[in-house]
Structure 1
Amino acid sequence: MEMELSPKFPRTFFESEAGGYYNWSSADSSILSEAKVAAGKFVLKPQGSALPHYSDCSKIGYVLQGVCTVGLVSLNKKDKMSFVYLKKGDIIGSPQGSVSWWYNHGDSDFAIVFLAETSKAHLPGEITYFLLTGPIGYLSAFSPEFIAKTYRINQEQAQTLSGSQQDAMLIKLGEEQAKSIPLPHDQDALNKWTKNLDRSLPGVDVKKGGKSTTLTGGEFLLLEEIGLSANRLELEANAIRTPNYATDTQVFYVVKGSGKVQIFGLNGKLVLDTEVETDQLFVVPRFLMVSLLAGGEGMECFSVLTSARHDIGELAGKDSVLNTIPSFLQVVLNLTPEFTQVFKQMQETGTVIVPPMN
Structure 2
Amino acid sequence: MALLRSFSTEFISKMYDLNDDQSKKLLQKQSNTLVIKIDKGIQMPQISNCKKEEYVINLDAVKVDEGSPLVDGVGLSPKLVRLEPENVLDAYYSTAHQVVYVVKGGGRVQIVGLNGTRMVDEVVEEGQLIVVPKFFVVAMIASHQGLELFCVSTSPRPISKPIAGKASAYKSLSSSVLENALNVNAELVESFKTQI
TM-score by length of 2: 0.61
Residue 344 in structure 1 maps to residue 190 in structure 2: no
Please give the residue correspondences for 1:181-260 in structure 2 after superposition, counting only pairs within 5 Å: 218-260=66-108
Measured after TM superposition, the shift of residue 266 of structure 1 is: 4.2
Q: How far does residue 339 in structure 1 lie from its aligned partner after superposition?
A: 2.3
Q: 2:133 aligns with which of 285, 290, 308?
A: 285
* Alignment match, 1:314: 162
More helix by share: 2
Encode CA deviations 1:296-329: one digit per residue, 9 max, x unaligned.
1111000011112221121111111222323521
Please, which runs of 5 or more residues in structure 1 have no aligned partner? 1-216, 348-358
CA deviation vs aligned residue, 1:257-304 (integer Å, no higher than 9, x gap): 111111111433211111111111110011111111111111100001
The amino acid of 1:336's aligned partner reads: N
Aligned letter for 1:346? Q
Cα 1:318–1:218 change in 2 (3 A) is: farther
Q: Percent of pairs identical after alignment?
A: 40
| Inter-partner Cα distance in structure 2 for 1:340 and 1:315 | 15
**Contact 2:114/2:135 (8 A) holds in 1:** no
After TM superposition, the structure 1 stretch with the greater mean CA deviation from structure 2, 312-321 or 259-268, is 259-268
In structure 1, what is the Cα distance between the partners aligned to 2:109 and 2:141?
6
Cα RMSD of the aligned pairs, angstroms, is: 1.7
**Which residue of structure 1 lines up, in the alignment, with residue 144 of structure 2?**
296
Structure of greater Rg: 1
Q: Counterparts of 1:1-358 in structure 2 under 5 Å?
A: 218-327=66-175, 328-347=177-196
* Displacement after TM superposition at 1:225 (Å): 2.7
Following TM superposition, by how much is the alpha carbon of 1:218 offset from its aligned partner in structure 2, in angstroms? 4.6
The whole-number CA distance in structure 1 between the counterparts of 2:156 and 2:132 is 17
Structure 2: distance between partners of 1:220 and 1:346: 37
Deviations 1:322-348 (Å, cap 9, x if unpaired)? 22323521211122223222211211x
What's the offset of the Cα at 1:239? 0.9
- CA apart distance, 1:219: 5.0
Query: Offset at 1:221?
Result: 4.0
- Structure number with the higher strand fraction is 1
| 1:223 to partner: Cα distance | 1.4
CA change 1:223–1:337 in 2 (3 A) is same
Q: Secondary structure of 1:268's partner? A: coil
> Aligned partner of 1:287: which letter?
F
The one-letter amino acid paired with 2:93 is: Y
* Moved >6 Å (runs of 4+): none
Whether the 8 Å CA contact 2:95–2:158 is kept in 1: the answer is no
Q: 1:283, 1:219 → 2: CA distance?
A: 25
Alpha-carbon distance in 1 for matches of 2:144, 2:158: 29
C-alpha distance in structure 2 between counterparts of 1:312 and 1:243, whole Å:
10
Rounded Cα–Cα distance in structure 2 between residues aligned with 1:334 and 1:251: 35
Within 1, Cα distance between the matches of 2:75 and 2:132? 17
Q: Residue deviations 1:98-120, cap 9 Å, x none?
A: xxxxxxxxxxxxxxxxxxxxxxx
SS at match of 2:155: coil
Give the partner amino acid of 2:115: N
TM-score (norm 1): 0.35
Distance in 2 separating the partners of 1:268 and 1:233: 25
In structure 2, the residue corresponding to 1:317 is in which secondary structure? coil
